[in-house]
A and B are shown apart, each in its own frame.
Chain A
Amino acid sequence: MSWVLLLLQTSLRNIFSSFLNMVIGIIILVGTFFFVVGGSLVDSMDKSMSRSIIGSVAGNAQVYEASSADSPAIFDNWQIPDLDPIPDFSKIKGPLMSDTNVKAVVPEGVNTAIVVYGNTIDQVLEKLRKAVSPGTRQPKPVVESLKAHVRQMVLDIQTDMGKVNRIASNGSFDPDAAENLKKASSNTFWNSFDRDPFDHLEFLENKIAYLIPDSDQIFLSYVGTDLDAFAKSFDRMEIVDGQMVPPGHRGMLLSKYVYEEMFKLKSAHRLDQIHEALTEKNKKIAKDPDLQDLVKQNKLQTREIVLQLDPLSGQKAVSILQTALNSKETDLSKLLSAFLDTNDSNFEARYKIFYDQLAPLVELYRLKPGELLTIKAYTKSGSVEAVNVKVYGTFQFKGLEKSGLAGGLSLMDLMSFRDLYGYVTPDKIAETKALEKAAGVKFVARDQAEADLFGGETSDVEQSQQKAINDRAEMGGSNKVKRVDLTQRVYSQDEIDKGVAMGAAILLKDPSQLKATMTRLQAACDKDNLGLKVIDWQKAAGNLGQFVFVAKAILYFATAIIFVVALVIINNAVVMATLQRMREIGTMRAIGARKSFVLAMVLTETVVLGMVFGAIGSALGSAFVVFLNHAGIPASNDFLYFFFSGPRLYPDLNAGSLIGAFFVVLVVTCVSALYPAMMATKVSPIQAMASDE
């Protein structure tokens, strides 16, 4: 015991006795600091990212058809994995729910759809067509307003085409188009509109509308799911605008992020971006090229607003802008361009004018909650299917409001998802077979085509006899195809469950039991021959889920390098220190110190040195983590926003990192001191005392 106390006393006394000890200590301090801070950061990021992934869409685990070529990749939005469908979700729901740790099983499938918007005049003409059509007729003032709007657009096109013609060489403007524009802007045309609106609409749609090439399309990623079960299981989800889709109804909830990015008037969205940068990020237009670019785009792209305004709204807008700019200019485009040419001093005032006075004159969003959205998607068979879904509102995941990754997915009811997925039902296969059989044709393979098609007869002509084609018979005995409006239909839970799903999210009562539960679930699936594969949330997230693995690997690799370098340096330093103490060790041996004492002394001194500086490093690292926990690390980009599960990461001190740091320091110091300690035991008292130094 007295040995140990003596050794500890000696070791503590010697810590600050030499410069070499300080070098060794600082290396250990830096390595420990890095280990504690890095470990805590990665661990906190792992936890926050798992919150993002589990809490938004993936759940704790996912199941999918084991025969699939790919596995689910929920956040790899633009690469839809090749998954085989689970033909009947109701058959897997029961067995999965029977596990004691499973809280909910939610059917899911990710897909990408296209929303096509015609050009601006097409969109207004579509409204006008509906307004004058028998089933959807609108009151006269609405029709008159739409007519005035179209007429204003025709005048705008005429003005623009005139400018183009003046700038370009003479005759570059199609004379037929000029003649058609002249007709479409005339009083005669509009005075006779009500007598035959459809004839006039056909003229406008086919002879005028194509002159504006500003049609647009939006790519929309969505999760098809049982919306009711989804909302109950993923408690981070919250409705922002509108309302939740009523239980059993077809419908869609757009992600708030997507709604702002894709459906908002582009000029307004750019103003929002500038406003956010100035107020929340303390940026300046004068110093930020990105903000300057946004201002430039707003200044140049005023047509989107101009074409939205009917004559009355146009006059109001001119008046608002003349007052705001103190100008007498009457050209709306010029006024808008000047108004949107903002700088740091006038931006906030104009931002307010825009939203208070101009925004009520235009449609800020292409779509409002409660309206129908027509979306199309490529089906499994490669054809394109379209459905109308009512958009009930927008939603977001708490804490992930501004994440493009979490906010990139919208939600759609499972019935609409199945229609767009185009699962080839046995009925459809039978119908295709019947059509093929009736046609009685033989498929000719590409490489055999010329031999098969041109190898025999030398005449390609046959005289045909006219056959009357009965349209009614071809259309199934009716002059009209019957279409059912499914937007109002209410589906029972049984109908929702019985059908195709691409996979299912599993939410657990006790997430810490994930691995054990997954093993049980996989065993149950195999036993019941469900043909399912169970994967955890990390794998289900796709490439994104692997980020923490990569981060951990980088951290451990960097730490390993630091400590290997430390090991070599400590080893050399202790060897040098031991050589410097030859006389001292020789004297100690001469007065009776045994070899074991010398060995223990060198080892203890090094370990104590490591422990002291390791403790200082751990303390500093812990203090830094505590500081970060209070201050937070800001998410500077979309990926970090998702990994931090919010705008800032507040890392927690990880006990595992502290224990790990202690263990690593102990091992490194012991290993590095072992050789010099052995060397010290071989010092003979006579040799040591005989030497000069």
Chain B
Amino acid sequence: MKSQNPFYHRVNGVTQSKAKDLIGFVFLKNRTLFTLCNSVFQILFISVLTLTPAGLFAQTLGHDKMVDILKGIDLRIRSGGDYKALVYLEQHQKDKPDIAQEALVYRRDVDQKLMILFTKPKTDAGKGYLRVDRNLWYYDPSVGKWERRTDRERIGGTDSDREDFDQSNLAGQYDPQFVGEEKLGSFTVWHLKLAVKSGIDVAYPLVEFWVDEATGNYLKRQDFALSGRLMRTSYDPKWDKLYSDAKKDYLWFPHEIHIYDEIDKGNSTLVIIQSVDLSVLPENMFTKAWLETKSR
């Protein structure tokens, strides 16, 4: 049996005399132990031969490639002109009744402007958010007041935040680091770790992304506090693309976002972008005055 094994002869022939010095006479005398050791060696050898090509050709992404991936995501989400979406938000909370809302999201990415106007339920209709430059304003028509909010604002009391509805600037805000190639269900994904660049204000300074290798869309995202504590996990399993005349390319948006609160376990939010309209919006609409006129 052994003579039929080429590895046995080679290994045995090369190492036998040295093995006497190295392992000792007792070891060689013990034929059973020697056979066992020999078998382990054979397995290791075969493994090395088998894995070396895979190791040589494994997908490790360089920094430039990762930045390109992020730029690709930013570019796809960015709208060349105006953007309007009808969005459904559903909040599940432990031991509390569900919250369901509908809102219109308006964007003018060229000027970095965003407005969210709630339309349903009746008690929330007319409430809204307006982002202009680094200011995020919240308006409640029942009291007629504007308030400054931070980027960590829970939109409409859900686990979603402004970034879930806004254009993306991942490449500008974060430095990427490659974690590895992984499987997410039936998808093969790149796992990236992003750390915020110095001097930039974002809701979450540390973010992990799982990007679909096939399409370049991110499918999973985890947001961390500066302390490293996981704050929320979100999944974007379906992406829609819509041709934009203004952009002369497709505009991509997640059809649905499943957000899970990692602090208040049991709380989660579902965001569905029901439809997108890329028609031109009124010139003066991203102002406080415009949002105020939506309620009387």
With A388-B144, A461-B239 in contact, is A435–B277 under 8 Å at CB? no
With A432-B100, A450-B184 in contact, is A465–B242 under 8 Å at CB? yes
B35 to chain A, nearest CB (A): 45
Are B102 and A454 closer than 8 Å at their CB atoms?
A: no
Are A441 and B256 closer than 8 Å at their CB atoms?
A: yes
Are B295 and A483 closer than 8 Å at their CB atoms?
A: yes
Chain B 86-124 per-residue mask, 1 if CB under 8 angstroms from chain A, else 0: 101011110011111110100000000000000111110
Question: What are the residues of chain B within 8 A of A1 when measuring CB–CB?
Answer: none
Are A428 and B123 closer than 8 Å at their CB atoms?
A: yes
Is A263 positioned at the interface, with any CB of B under 8 Å from its CB? no
Question: What are the residues of chain B within 8 A of A198 when measuring CB–CB?
Answer: 287-289
With A210-B134, A441-B272, A460-B219 in contact, is A431–B119 under 8 Å at CB? no
Is A286 positioned at the interface, with any CB of B under 8 Å from its CB? no
Is B278 positioned at the interface, with any CB of A under 8 Å from its CB? yes
Is B176 positioned at the interface, with any CB of A under 8 Å from its CB? no
- Distance of A454 Cα from B101 Cα, bound (Å): 26
Are B142 and A462 closer than 8 Å at their CB atoms?
A: no
Q: Which of A295-303, A375-383, A544-552 contacts B (4 or more CB under 8 A)?
A: A375-383
With A198-B287, A468-B279 in contact, is A460–B238 under 8 Å at CB? yes
Are A435 and B187 closer than 8 Å at their CB atoms?
A: no
- Distance of A446 Cα from B119 Cα, bound (Å): 28
Is B237 positioned at the interface, with any CB of A under 8 Å from its CB? yes
Are A474 and B121 closer than 8 Å at their CB atoms?
A: no
What is the interface residue range for chain A against chain B?
Answer: 35 or more
Question: What are the residues of chain B within 8 A of A374 when measuring CB–CB?
Answer: 143, 145
Are A464 and B242 closer than 8 Å at their CB atoms?
A: yes
Is A384 positioned at the interface, with any CB of B under 8 Å from its CB? yes
Are B275 and A481 closer than 8 Å at their CB atoms?
A: no
Question: What are the residues of chain B within 8 A of A5 when measuring CB–CB?
Answer: none
Instruction: Please pick, from B90, B99, B238, B275, the residue contacting A383 in the complex, using a CB distance under 8 A.
Output: B99
Are A381 and B258 closer than 8 Å at their CB atoms?
A: no
Question: What are the residues of chain A within 8 A of B86 when measuring CB–CB?
Answer: 469, 474
Question: What are the residues of chain B within 8 A of A464 when measuring CB–CB?
Answer: 240-242, 255, 276
With A460-B219, A483-B141 in contact, is A469–B84 under 8 Å at CB? yes
Q: Which of B24-32, B56-64, B209-217 contacts A (4 or more CB under 8 A)?
A: B209-217
- Distance of A474 Cα from B106 Cα, bound (Å): 14
Is A424 positioned at the interface, with any CB of B under 8 Å from its CB? yes
- Distance of A474 Cα from B266 Cα, bound (Å): 31
Is B165 positioned at the interface, with any CB of A under 8 Å from its CB? no
With A428-B123, A431-B121 in contact, is A126–B146 under 8 Å at CB? yes
Is B185 positioned at the interface, with any CB of A under 8 Å from its CB? yes
Are B97 and A443 closer than 8 Å at their CB atoms?
A: no
Are B90 and A471 closer than 8 Å at their CB atoms?
A: no
Within 8 A of A (CB), among B33-67: none
Is B3 positioned at the interface, with any CB of A under 8 Å from its CB? no
Within 8 A of A (CB), among B182-240: 184-187, 212, 214-215, 217, 219-220, 235, 237-240
Is A206 positioned at the interface, with any CB of B under 8 Å from its CB? yes
Are A481 and B125 closer than 8 Å at their CB atoms?
A: yes
Is A387 positioned at the interface, with any CB of B under 8 Å from its CB? yes
Is A458 positioned at the interface, with any CB of B under 8 Å from its CB? yes
Is A467 positioned at the interface, with any CB of B under 8 Å from its CB? yes
Are A454 and B135 closer than 8 Å at their CB atoms?
A: no
Instruction: Please pick, from B96, B238, B277, the residue contacting A468 in the complex, using a CB distance under 8 A.
Output: B277
Q: Which residue of A lies closest to B187 (CB)?
A: A454
- Distance of A10 Cα from B91 Cα, bound (Å): 89
Chain A 237-260 per-residue mask, 1 if CB under 8 angstroms from chain B, else 0: 000000000000000000000000
Question: What are the residues of chain A within 8 A of B270 when measuring CB–CB?
Answer: 441, 443-444
Q: Which residue of A lies closest to B220 (CB)?
A: A450
Are B156 and A460 closer than 8 Å at their CB atoms?
A: no
A606 to chain B, nearest CB (A): 66
Is A463 positioned at the interface, with any CB of B under 8 Å from its CB? yes
Are B132 and A202 closer than 8 Å at their CB atoms?
A: yes
B255 to chain A, nearest CB (A): 7
Question: What are the residues of chain B within 8 A of A449 when measuring CB–CB?
Answer: 235, 258, 260
Apart from A435-B102, A444-B270, A454-B187, what are 11 other A-B pairs with CB-CB below 8 Å? A210-B135, A431-B120, A446-B265, A449-B260, A456-B185, A463-B240, A467-B275, A469-B104, A479-B294, A481-B141, A483-B141
Q: Which 3 A-B pairs have the closest CB atoms?
A: A454-B185, A383-B157, A481-B126
26 A–B contact pairs at CB < 8 A?
A116-B147, A126-B145, A198-B287, A201-B288, A205-B135, A206-B133, A381-B97, A387-B143, A388-B144, A431-B121, A431-B122, A432-B97, A432-B99, A436-B98, A443-B90, A449-B235, A454-B235, A460-B212, A461-B217, A466-B276, A466-B277, A469-B84, A475-B125, A480-B293, A481-B126, A482-B295
